[in-house]
Amino acid sequence: MSIEPAAPRRHRVVIVGSGFGGLTAAKHLRKADADITLIARTTHHLFQPLLYQVATGVLSEGEIAPATRLILEDQENVRVVLGEVDAVDLANRTVTSKLMNSETVYPYDSLIVAAGAQQSYFGNDHFATFAPGMKTIDDALELRGRIIGAFEAAEAIDDPAERKRRLTFVVVGAGPTGVELAGQIAELADRTLAGAFRTIDPNNARVILLDAAPAVLPPMGENLGLKAQRRLEEMGVEVQLNAMVTDVDYQGITVKEKDGTERRIECACKVWSAGVQANPLGKLIAEQSDGTTTDRAGRVIVEPDLTVKGHPYVFVIGDLMSVPEVPGMAQGAIQGAVYATKRIKESLRGEDDPANRKPFKYLNKGSMATVSRFSAVAQVGKFEFGGFIAWLAWLVLHLYYLVGQKNRLTTVMAWTLSFLGKGRGQMTITERWIYARQAMQQLESYEAAAKERFEEAETGHPNRATPTGSIVDGTSARLSAP
Ligand SMILES: Cc1cc2nc3c(=O)[nH]c(=O)nc-3n(C[C@H](O)[C@H](O)[C@H](O)COP(=O)(O)OP(=O)(O)OC[C@H]3O[C@@H](n4cnc5c(N)ncnc54)[C@H](O)[C@@H]3O)c2cc1C
């Protein structure tokens, strides 16, 4: 373990996370007389709203995930560090981060935690083996492999029932991500892949968007939800509502209807976009505060100034914070970061009075979701609109928020190729993208079991766990894909 120098001359700000919240915070401290350390477990800043386009071959991962270090290259008061933060000590004001076998402790004067959220399977974590979520670049590349891999696997089989299963795609969760992904799988099948196979007809692919709720895009209201549903149905997507997933396995999924009856959908490719859960760092921080708690999703119920009780310079922002009327969206994270950094800059000028801070106020700039090329739905204040105008607004806004001129340029080129033509530039898939996550999980369980056996040999106490599959021959890892 190494310890950072104990007493730097300047105020030390530690930021956890390089997403919308963390990156915005670092940028807004550009002129601050402070030493900033930004710690994140990935080397990139991820533009999550376009992950579904990486998963469906429209964009490359580089276009939506530029290196954080290069984005902040010219900002001399920031040091970017790769590592997984696994401990925060509020009493001693330190953050501990791990990379491979080394641990580093970073002291702070102000702390901004923007560690985001992860996929939630509502207590059924084993669903993840067969129905990955879409939160990271790894997820998107694995899904691309599974989606395109399913068409390939269908072409290679003669049995009609199995071919049908391989050509059935189920997206669980009819929020913006589910709607966008289902629409893109349908377009991939009907436009890009049409004519590329000799045995199967990709147009026969069945794309199902399924949700336990009674409507598509519930937060956007009935009118826009229906608009999106109609457009999806025109594209051939089957929208199944009031349908709750009760089981997911290699062969398919089990669905419970509102009346309690259960049915099966045999499908090879399943995607989970049904729920989110806050990063565990939220609970860790709340537990050390003077009474701050977390909500059901694990988000920190922060004070009106986005801090935790008893720690006026520990800010929790973005998807990790729970603030009434603030959705888990990019704007919530960006505005939270701007608010927190303003307080830090005021404190550096001796102008901050934590007891009398103006509370954080969220400005709702609206929300939107694309359904297909040239069609989106949008809500800005009381205005609701759909179709081409909404799609144009979506396009301009996403380009505006993408980081880097080069990325904007290559994204425009990629969109021109796939929206005006039928091609997609990122159709590469590899076996490792599909199987690596499961293989790594199995390796972890194998290592854990080996450790227990070693401890048993040392202590003489009985061993409790054995690995469920062997990484050595890889067979069980392969069973579940694509
Ligand atoms: C598929 C998808 C589509 C979306 N579409 C939209 C949209 O269209 N519009 C919209 O406004 N919002 C959208 N969102 C939501 C939006 O992306 C989030 O609200 C936003 O990213 C939250 O920002 P954040 O900084 O709080 O967290 P994130 O952006 O999630 O960043 C979290 C950061 O913390 C790091 N981290 C996590 N744990 C640790 C740890 N222990 N140690 C070190 N680093 C850690 C991560 O590596 C990451 O850098 C979408 C989200 C997803 C997943």
Question: Kind of pairing, strands 300-301 and 321-322?
Answer: parallel
Residue nearest to atom 23 of ligand 1 (CA): 20
Question: Both 91 and 176 in a single domain?
Answer: no
Task: Choose which residue among 42, 329, 365 to substitute to test ligand 1 binding: the one with the highest number of ligand atoms within 8 A of its C-beta.
Answer: 329
Question: Both 156 and 250 in a single domain?
Answer: yes
What per-residue confidence (pLDDT) applies to 473? 31
Atom of ligand 1 nearest to the CA of 50: 3
- CA trace torsion 452, 453, 457, 461 (10° rounding): 60
User: Is 180 designated active site?
Assistant: yes
CA of 247 to the centre of ligand 1 (A): 27
Q: What's the rounded mean pLDDT across residues 183-205?
A: 96
Contact (CB, 8 A) for 429 and 415: no
Domain that holds residue 459: 431-480
Whole-number percent of the chain with pLDDT over 90: 86
CA of 37 to the centre of ligand 1 (A): 19
Q: Which CATH number do you get for residue 347?
A: 3.50.50.60
Contact (CB, 8 A) for 208 and 171: yes
Atom of ligand 1 nearest to the CA of 45: 49
Answer yes or no: is pLDDT of 461 > 90.
no
pTM across the whole model: 0.92
Answer yes or no: is pLDDT of 5 > 60.
no
Place of tokens 């079991």: 449
User: What are the tens digits of pLDDT across the range 40-60?
Assistant: 999 999 999 999 999 999 999
Question: Both 449 and 341 in a single domain?
Answer: no
What per-residue confidence (pLDDT) applies to 2? 52
Establish if 52 belongs to a structural domain: no
CA of 410 to the centre of ligand 1 (A): 23
How many structural domains is the chain composed of?
3
Answer yes or no: is pLDDT of 372 > 80.
yes
Atom of ligand 1 nearest to the CA of 117: 30
Question: Both 163 and 106 in a single domain?
Answer: no
CA of 134 to the centre of ligand 1 (A): 11
Q: Which residues contact 136 (CB under 8 A, 6 or more apart)?
A: 42, 46, 51
Establish if 47 belongs to a structural domain: no
Which residue of the set 63, 180, 187, 303 is catalytic? 180
Confidence of residue 446 (pLDDT cuts 50, 70, 90): confident
What per-residue confidence (pLDDT) applies to 144? 98
Q: What is the mean pLDDT of the chain?
A: 92
Atom of ligand 1 nearest to the CA of 84: 42
Atom of ligand 1 nearest to the CA of 40: 44
Question: Both 242 and 311 in a single domain?
Answer: no
Chain center to CA of 409: 24
Q: Among the three residues 420, 444, 463, which one is the final residue of a domain in this structure?
A: 420
Establish if 228 belongs to a structural domain: yes
Task: Choose which residue among 41, 48, 341 to substitute to test ligand 1 binding: the one with the highest number of ligand atoms within 8 A of its C-beta.
Answer: 48
Establish if 58 belongs to a structural domain: no
What per-residue confidence (pLDDT) applies to 214? 96
The whole-angstrom separation of Cα 209 and Cα 211 is 7
CA of 11 to the centre of ligand 1 (A): 27
Question: Both 290 and 249 in a single domain?
Answer: no
Residue nearest to atom 25 of ligand 1 (CA): 21
Question: Both 92 and 202 in a single domain?
Answer: no
Residue nearest to atom 20 of ligand 1 (CA): 330
Give the residue among 473, 465, 474, 433 at the shortest CA–CA distance from 447.
465
Question: Both 261 and 403 in a single domain?
Answer: yes
Task: List, in sequence order, every residue forming a beta bridge with 369; answer none if it has no partner.
Answer: 377
Question: Both 198 and 334 in a single domain?
Answer: no
Question: Both 197 and 345 in a single domain?
Answer: no
Question: Both 303 and 380 in a single domain?
Answer: no
- Per DSSP (E only), the strands in 130-243 are 168-172, 206-210, 238-240
CA of 116 to the centre of ligand 1 (A): 5
Chain center to CA of 458: 42
Confidence of residue 415 (pLDDT cuts 50, 70, 90): very high
Q: Among the three residues 332, 356, 380, which one is the final residue of a domain in this structure?
A: 356
CA of 249 to the centre of ligand 1 (A): 28
Q: Which residues line ligand 1 (CB under 6 A)?
A: 16-22, 39-42, 48-49, 51, 84-85, 114-116, 134-135, 176-177, 279, 281, 318-320, 328-331, 333
Q: What's the rounded mean pLDDT across residues 235-263?
A: 96
Residue nearest to atom 8 of ligand 1 (CA): 49
CB atoms within 10 A of CB 106: 21
The whole-angstrom separation of Cα 422 and Cα 32 is 48
